[in-house]
């Protein structure tokens, strides 16, 4: 009998100790799938192959940045396990890869998946599974909708706010402008166009005298430019990706058209657009920016740019430093690391969203001076500021204030 009592006593004592330790642990550390004492699993989906494969660089830069973080000891002692899959920019494949990440790899969150159609395809799924779909790599306006999609958050300034800013500028400085627009016939081009139409408001009908859309499968946009010139417009709004933007700039100079040229920031890179189009052809172009352009000589001695270069030297030496996507991937990965650090030991999906939605006046080396990241429970658009800039000589000259163009989803 005493033996049994002894055993019972030890058992209950053991039980008490066990309960005490587990409840203690629970109070300090909280984990959802994908997070442990030693590791945080982050999923990512990128078009490494297919029509949009040029953006795959973003995924590679992010992987390199997380390697750097891991080499420096990780986040609160936890290493980042960055699992990045290819969807070839095909939405059905994105759904497959997202499900693989969430249900098979069991990641804590999906970070910076790229493209509007791919992200639209998993939007509902991620929110019904309550897995964060953080900092999606698309400028569409619909990601800022915390009320209906509390698990999805964008990152970059959305396309509509950019053309709204141009519209504001035109209405103020050139109220009698005759506007010609060229845009890419897809979600990105149409979103930009929508912003312009909204920004011009009731004047859009009379001010816009010509619209041309082009397909990415076209070899050149020359014929569109010629048509737009024939409309007699004196303002040209150029909504195109780098290759086409360079063609347009060159063609405009060639045919002697001299409109005020607004170039979307997607193509504001000196290295991949202005240089191939010719510096002399690009004088006076107006654009806007939120990131520093690594090919712009004015940042040569900038501390943020030096940090970026040091990172690339060590962790991603083969990167093309003229590619704006590298700067993008670097800065968005920094934002991710900031959120995970802020989570501390409470690595639940709910807390990740909470921390992502409480970033205040955050600034990174790659962002333009004065541009900051701000979110709140009702504002899921981390970056909403842009600054206008004009191309003069061989560099962009920023002018005017930092402008905020918040547009809700």
Partner 1 sequence: MSAIQETVTDAPAIDAVPKRAMTLGAGTSAVVLLLLLVMPLFVKNFVIFQLTTVLIYGLAVLALNILTGGSGQFSLGQSAFYALGAYISAVLMEHAGMNYALTLPISGIICFAFGFLFGLPALRLSGIYLALATFALAVAMPQFLKLGALEEWTGGVQGLVVTKPDAPFGLPLSQDTWLYYFTLAIAIAIYIASINLLRSRSGRAMMAIRDNEIAASAMGINVALYKTLAFGVSAGITGVAGGLGAIVVQFVAPDSYTIQLAIALFLGMVVGGVGWLPGSIVGAAFIVFVPNIAESISKGLSGAVFGVLLFVVIFLVPHGARQVALVCQHWIGKLKRS
Q: Which stretch binds partner 1 (CB under 8 A): 112-120, 244-252, 299-307, 368-376?
A: 112-120
- For residue 385, list its beta bridge partners: 404
Q: How far is CA 273 from CA 79, 179, 306, in A?
A: 38, 22, 23
E strand spans, 78-185: 79-86, 109-111, 133-134, 179-184
**161 lies in the binding site for partner 1 (CB under 8 A):** no
Binding track, positions 198-217, relative to partner 1; x by CB under 8 A? -----------------x-x
Among 16, 24, 38, 103, binds partner 1 (CB under 8 A): 103
294 phi/psi in degrees, rounded to 5: -65, -20
| Burial of 150 (C-beta count, 10 Å sphere; 0-12/13-18/19+) | middle
253-273 b/e (C-beta count within 10 Å ≥ 16 → b) = beeebebbbbbbbbbbbbbbb
Q: Which stretch binds partner 1 (CB under 8 A): 2-10, 25-33, 184-192, 219-227?
A: 184-192
Segment 216-235, which members bind partner 1 (CB under 8 A)? 217
**190 lies in the binding site for partner 1 (CB under 8 A):** yes
Cβ contact 197:244 at 8 Å: no
Among 54, 70, 74, 91, binds partner 1 (CB under 8 A): 91
Closer to partner 1 by Cβ: residue 137 or 277: 137
**79 lies in the binding site for partner 1 (CB under 8 A):** no
DSSP 30-68: EE-TTB-SSEEEEEEEE-SSSTTGGGHHHHHHHHHHHHH
Q: How far is the C-alpha of 3 from the C-alpha of 350, rounded, in Å?
A: 49
Q: Give the other-Cβ count within 10 Å of 210's Cβ.
A: 18
Segment 23-62, which members bind partner 1 (CB under 8 A)? 48-51, 56, 60
For the bound state, the minimum distance from the C-beta of residue 79 to partner 1, rounded and expressed in Å, comes to 19
Q: How far is CA 71 from CA 80, 88, 217, in A?
A: 10, 30, 42
Segment 352-371, which members bind partner 1 (CB under 8 A)? none
**104 lies in the binding site for partner 1 (CB under 8 A):** yes
Angle of helix 303-315 versus helix 56-71 axis, rounded to 10 = 90
For the bound state, the minimum distance from the C-beta of residue 407 to partner 1, rounded and expressed in Å, comes to 16
Q: Which stretch binds partner 1 (CB under 8 A): 121-129, 220-228, 256-264, 395-403?
A: 121-129
**99 lies in the binding site for partner 1 (CB under 8 A):** yes
User: Which helix (H) or strand (E) segment is 262 a member of?
Assistant: strand 260-263
Q: Which stretch binds partner 1 (CB under 8 A): 118-126, 337-345, 356-364, 399-407?
A: 118-126
Among 95, 171, 226, 362, binds partner 1 (CB under 8 A): 95
Closer to partner 1 by Cβ: residue 126 or 263: 126
Q: How many helices (H) and strands (E) does the chain have?
A: 13, 13
**68 lies in the binding site for partner 1 (CB under 8 A):** no
Closer to partner 1 by Cβ: residue 211 or 234: 211
**What does DSSP say about strands 286-289 and 346-347: parallel, antiparallel, or unpaired?**
unpaired
Which alpha helices (H) appear in 201-261, and where do they start and end?
A: 204-207, 222-230, 242-254
**243 lies in the binding site for partner 1 (CB under 8 A):** no
**147 lies in the binding site for partner 1 (CB under 8 A):** no
**85 lies in the binding site for partner 1 (CB under 8 A):** yes
Cα angle at 329 between 101 and 53, to 5 degrees? 70
Among 41, 79, 123, 292, binds partner 1 (CB under 8 A): 123
For the bound state, the minimum distance from the C-beta of residue 106 to partner 1, rounded and expressed in Å, comes to 10
User: Which helix (H) or strand (E) segment is 164 a member of?
Assistant: helix 159-173
For the bound state, the minimum distance from the C-beta of residue 76 to partner 1, rounded and expressed in Å, comes to 28
Q: How far is the C-alpha of 399 from the C-alpha of 59, rounded, in Å?
A: 32
Among 39, 68, 88, 345, binds partner 1 (CB under 8 A): 88
Among 90, 160, 260, 335, binds partner 1 (CB under 8 A): 90
- Which residues contact partner 1 by CB under 8 A? 48-51, 56, 60, 84-86, 88-93, 95-96, 99-100, 102-104, 116-118, 120-121, 123-125, 140, 142, 185-187, 190, 215, 217
């Amino acid at each position: 009998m005493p033996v049994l009592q002894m055993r019972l006593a030890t058992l209950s004592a053991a039980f008490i100790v066990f309960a005490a330790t587990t409840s203690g642990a629970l109070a300090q550390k909280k984990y959802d799938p994908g997070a442990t004492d030693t590791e945080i699993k982050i999923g990512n989906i990128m078009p490494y192959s297919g029509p949009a494969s040029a953006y795959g660089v973003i995924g590679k830069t992010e992987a390199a940045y997380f390697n750097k973080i891991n080499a420096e000891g990780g986040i609160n002692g936890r290493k980042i396990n960055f699992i990045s899959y290819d969807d070839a920019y095909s939405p059905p494949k994105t759904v497959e890869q997202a499900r693989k990440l969430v249900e098979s790899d069991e990641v804590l969150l999906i970070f910076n998946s790229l493209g509007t159609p791919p992200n639209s395809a998993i939007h509902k799924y991620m929110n019904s599974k309550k897995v964060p779909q953080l900092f999606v790599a698309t400028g569409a306006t619909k990601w800022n909708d915390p009320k209906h999609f509390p698990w999805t958050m964008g990152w970059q300034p959305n396309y509509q706010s950019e053309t709204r800013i141009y519209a504001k500028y035109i209405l103020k400085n050139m109220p009698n402008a005759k506007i010609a627009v060229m845009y890419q016939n897809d979600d990105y081009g149409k979103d930009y166009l929508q912003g312009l139409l909204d920004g011009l408001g009731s004047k859009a009908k009379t001010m816009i005298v010509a619209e041309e859309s082009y397909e990415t499968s076209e070899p050149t946009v020359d014929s569109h430019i010629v048509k737009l010139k024939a409309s007699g417009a004196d303002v040209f709004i150029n909504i195109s990706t780098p290759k086409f933007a360079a063609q347009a700039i060159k063609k405009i100079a060639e045919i002697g058209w001299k409109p005020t040229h607004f170039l979307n920031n997607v193509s504001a890179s000196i290295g991949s657009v202005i240089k191939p189009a010719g510096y002399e052809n690009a004088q006076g172009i107006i654009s806007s920016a939120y990131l520093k352009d690594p090919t712009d000589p004015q940042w040569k001695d900038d501390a943020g740019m030096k940090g970026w270069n040091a990172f690339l030297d060590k962790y991603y030496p083969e990167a093309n430093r003229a590619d704006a996507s590298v700067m993008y991937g670097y800065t968005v990965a920094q934002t991710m690391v900031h959120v995970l650090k802020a989570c501390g030991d409470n690595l639940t999906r709910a807390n990740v969203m909470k921390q992502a939605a409480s970033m205040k006046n955050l600034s990174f080396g790659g962002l333009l001076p004065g541009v900051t990241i701000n979110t709140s429970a009702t504002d899921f658009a981390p970056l909403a500021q842009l600054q206008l800039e004009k191309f003069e000589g061989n560099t962009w000259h920023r002018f005017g204030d930092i402008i905020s163009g918040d547009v809700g989803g």
